[in-house]
Structure 1
């Protein structure tokens, strides 16, 4: 049986470049080499695309680029390949399905998904629209709120109004919900650029920090809560995993706590919840997935209030982390689906979604 040619795309130009490298290493390492011919495609921090066939451990530390060959993916529906030019010789690497392992802007936000659509090639995870909406925390919250799903109170500000409007922003937050509060770039993940502000001076610093990463800034009311996550898998009939709980090593689950705290943060899988709480989380996760028109996979993050017991939807991640410590695959393992089986299922879902789209008419 001929192997399925899978292009694993990693790296990218976002602040989560290093996280993507770790995720890609884990995925390639686990993929069944008897089923798949893997074509690793890396994107550098300055946006250059390369194909790489060396030691996959070099993907993890970023040294893969030393042995990589420049390529481009033509937005041509008939090509379905990556084209490399090496010493004047053209080589075409044909691809059956693409597995993007890109976190953050220019990867998880619908941009590369648009390229894959133009190539008319199956790809893992959400489509252009849902990828773009879920990447933008403001759009996500507005749509979830419109659907009657629970989100915490929030305010939206813009970098263009800084620094002149900083005092007005601070006053608006103080009058709306006060301290402490969270400040986030609207379009990043992995807690990059996220701060918890306890007073006016910290809020000013947090807003200026977030503005280094995005033009749109989100400030959220703080609620004392447990951090619960739930993995969703599927297309038209998605299913939710058992939830997990994060007990961060720091005051909140920051970028450092997620990836570089030496295992001090605790991941409890399954989360110690009642049967009723577990089903409520799983039900909300699927509802959020459907409301945002997701497909393939997403990780839905919740804040479970310690005071009221209300589960607020915090974020929806369409390409969640896939490192050896990442919650998305670990929650599915706890639900009976191994890491390797999960990858198989994601590729199957990508091909299924693409096949159904081919059945649609493009013209009258």
Structure 2
């Protein structure tokens, strides 16, 4: 069955939709479905997307394509609507660079079923559902009516109140009323009198907590800012703008243009229409007006206010069984770092914590489930829904945000809760498709054709259950105990999911914890693998093997669903040794970053028990984990690296002042300080002065894991930022242009193969240009969907031929570095490139990652796509090399 996956869209949630569409594309069972990517751009065009663009980090990385971008002094990223009014031919030309435009009447020629991962307006409001019904295309999720209800928060409130659901006090007012109110303090007084403090201010037609604020005190300035945020209005005062530095102005415009956190573009600036961020920058620089009111062209027409509900916040996925009966999966408690579960908290690991089931009495959990099922039926939802709410200490349940579409990132509630009843992401997506077809049959439209389609799918699902196909058993080891353990889990889950939907591999998730002296290995059930982060997983594998009573009941209720899709699933974590692992699997994918994994320790154990694995061997791994030794070896062989030195804890404690003076005599601020023997980006800091150097050393050499408040402030460390404790760290020169005509940071991936004679052959991919928001590239920018900016291939020169010449030089240096270090399997090499006259390039190596991040958004997948590898095929090539290398060593 051909599945058209609709992703992107016109709403402010298009980046999450884009990332969710990629998840669905990768996880559809390849024995049952063929995935067809249908990218919906922000103007509403349907584009049959060339598959390689699915693996870009963000929409703005590929669309509009680089060749269509106008000159931008400050290199602002834009969506296509910021190109302004273009002709039909110009739009067609842009679309043809990334795929093929298709019209709704052509859908039936390309796919049999539409899987909707679109969010917000035009995606989950009944618009696309109606369009698909018009053209007789079955689609996932709820129908037209329930989708329209699901998007409109005001209509929801009225219907819920009439049906007897507990509800907070509410109030509304229009944009027109707001703009015509001279003194906003009077309105605030009325609202405080009507609904009390604190209260929540919402944009009624948005999802993902976009345009949502909490007002906790009677503060007129904050009230105005919060309401403007919900209406997507921003006020800019010339006196403030003119005090900004150039960097601050660029940051302001970048944030404002971000559709997740800012008001987005195009905008009206005092009634003048502005499309591009660069034009807005210039307008604010030249306007004579003291106050400029910026209003998004698609702002909200009203604001919804609700009294704040004290209590625990939760989210609950409700699904239907084959008889149409709703079943509420175990509700998840959301533990936030702030009052608001905002966009970043929802989608960035570590920003919040998910606890499933919610930690309250069983009777209260069942009350949540009952109310969620009742609301699901009351609003006539179908197939599945995500319902959010609060529960107070008395067990009173307040449901406040029913959604007909859930986020579909690998760690979303959608998959997280389905895993509690034993469904892995691939199986859950099959369930969604099957149940959606059954629901569309009930509408009486093309029902005989749909029934035949359903019967065929059921037969194929049954055949999969009874098939005895022998698959390669692949352990995916994730976690670890380094500062990169959370990213390792993201990588491991991605590898597991790519393999689980394949016809070749049977993946087995394995969590590694313990310490350098003693590795602890646990085979995990799917529900534990999909916990929030590595620390949550470690807690669960160490806990007694007993399911929560509520989860036991839900598993029993859902037996009619799971029995159809799940084979022999692992139910409880199982502690094993490397010897037992060798009996269970045929090959290992090490998805660990930093220590252990990239230091040769795990490789040593796997070689001892005779298991093939991915990546470099023991000796190469031991070298590349050590940044100092890597630099020394590369410099010895004529490769450019930064000037560097090690700072040891015992020397620092014995003579801090003398050591600082020695460093300052050898290096000029700013310098780079980072762990010398850990993975990438953790605790990498640009040190601008002596105070920051001392703070960095204090943090690195601290005696306990707890952060030190003084250094945290000096280094501006973020909440939940990882900062390891070490006995030494690395200092190196900050690499600069040094007179080059062009200077950029790149990261390049490579893959090794064996030729017919068993010789090692390197395939070095086109590097990506990486642009950091802050002073150094963060973990989030490197690996997380919707974060960071990577341009693949890197922009070495405007002239294509010149760019090819430069790229060849860079890739040759990366290859030479890999050969010197005896890298095998695959790797990622980070570097700076200086480009001089006559297209001469100098490549300065920063670090080599022998087990690079393999999260869905990492740019190594952008690079492999240019060479024709989909992520699964790249992973398959990595494993295939490991197995062939082992076979050769066995003779």
Query: TM-score, normalization: structure 2?
Result: 0.37
1:360–1:100 distance in 2 versus 1, CA, 3 Å: closer
User: Residue 171 of structure 1: CA displacement?
Assistant: 3.0
Q: Aligned partners of 1:24, 1:360: CA distance in 2, in Å?
A: 27
Structure 1 residue 57, shift from structure 2 partner: 5.0
Aligned to 1:209: 229
Is 2:158 aligned against 1:142?
yes
**Deviations 1:166-210 (Å, cap 9, x if unpaired)?**
455423311112221110000111010111112232222211210
Q: 2:352 aligns with which of 256, 265, 268?
A: 265
The answer to whether 1:119 aligns with 2:135 is: yes
For the pair 1:131 / 2:143, whether they are aligned, the reply is: no
Equivalence for 2:390 = 303
**1:347 pairs with one of 410, 433, 441:** 433
Question: Which region of structure 1 is more displaced relative to structure 2, 63-72 or 146-155?
Answer: 63-72
Report the alpha carbon displacement of residue 80 of structure 1 after superposing the two structures with TM. Answer: 4.5
Higher-strand-fraction structure: 1
8 A Cα contact 1:110 1:128, kept in partner: yes
Greater displacement, 209-218 / 10-19: 209-218
1:85 aligns to what?
Answer: none
CA distance in 2 between counterparts of 1:301 and 1:354 reads 26
Q: How many aligned residue pairs are there?
A: 342
User: Higher RCO, 1 or 2 (CA under 8 Å, sep at least 6)?
Assistant: 1
Cα deviations by residue, 1:257-300 (Å, 9 ceiling, x for unpaired)? 1224x413101122222221111111111101011010011001
Q: Distance in 2 between matches of 1:348 and 1:204?
A: 47
In structure 1, the residue matched to 2:401 is 315
- Residue 228 (1) aligns with residue 307 (2): no
For 1:100, which of 95, 116, 140 is the aligned residue? 116
Is residue 48 of structure 2 the alignment partner of residue 51 of structure 1? yes
Q: Does structure 1 conserve the Cα–Cα contact (< 8 Å) formed by 2:136 and 2:446? A: no
Contact 1:21 1:59 in 2 (8 A): no
Where do 5+ consecutive residues of structure 2 fail to align?
66-96, 233-298, 448-891
How far apart, CA to CA, are the structure 2 residues paired with 1:313 and 1:124?
Answer: 24
Distance 1:107 1:161 in 2: 29
Question: Deviation of residue 346 (structure 1)?
Answer: 0.8
Matches within 5 A, 1:239-250: 239-250=327-338
CA distance in 1, matches of 2:345, 2:114: 30
SS at match of 1:214: coil
Measured in 1, the distance between the counterparts of 2:347 and 2:315 equals 17
* Corresponding residue for residue 411 of structure 2: 325
**Aligned with 1:72 (options 90, 96, 102):** 102
Q: Which runs of 5+ in 1 are unaligned?
A: 82-91
Q: Structure 1, residues 219-254: CA drift from partner, whole Å, max 9, x if none?
A: 010122111111111273121101111111222101
| Cα pair distance change 1:282/1:179, threshold 3 Å | same
Residue pairs, 1:78-97, within 5 angstroms: 80-81=107-108, 92-93=109-110, 95-97=111-113
SS at match of 1:293: coil
CA distance in 1, matches of 2:310, 2:442: 44
* SS of aligned partner of 1:132: helix
Distance 2:126 2:338 in 1: 32
Q: Aligned residue for 2:27?
A: 30
Query: 1-side partners of 2:115 and 2:333: how far apart?
Result: 27
Q: What residue number does 1:173 align with?
A: 191
Q: Say whether the 8 Å CA contact 1:124–1:346 is kept in structure 2.
A: yes
Partner of 1:292: 379
- Cα distance, 1:64 vs. partner? 5.3
2:179 counterpart SS class? coil
For the pair 1:11 / 2:45, whether they are aligned, the reply is no
Shift of 1:48: 2.3
Q: 2:362 aligns with which of 256, 272, 275?
A: 275
In structure 1, C-alpha distance between the alignment counterparts of 2:413 and 2:148, rounded to whole Å: 22
Structure 1: distance between partners of 2:343 and 2:145: 26
Measured on the aligned residues, the alpha-carbon RMSD in Å equals: 2.0
TM-score (norm 1): 0.88
3-state SS of paired residue (2:400): strand
Q: 1:21 to 1:358 in 2, by over 3 A?
A: same
CA–CA distance in structure 2, aligned partners of residues 285 and 97 of structure 1: 28
1:200 equivalent among 219, 238, 241: 219
> Which structure's CA Rg is the greater one?
2
- Say if 1:25 and 1:59, in contact at 8 Å, map to a contact too: no
In the aligned structure 1, how far is the partner of 2:432 from the partner of 2:117?
Answer: 12
2:418 aligned counterpart, secondary structure: helix
- Residues 221 and 347 of structure 1, relative CA distance in 2, 3 Å threshold: same
Q: 1:241 and 1:157, CA in 2 relative to 1: closer, same or farther beyond 3 A?
A: same
Distance 1:59-1:148 versus aligned 2 partners, 3 A rule:
farther
Q: Distance in 2 between matches of 1:136 and 1:244?
A: 24
**Which segment drifts farther, 310-319 or 162-171?**
162-171
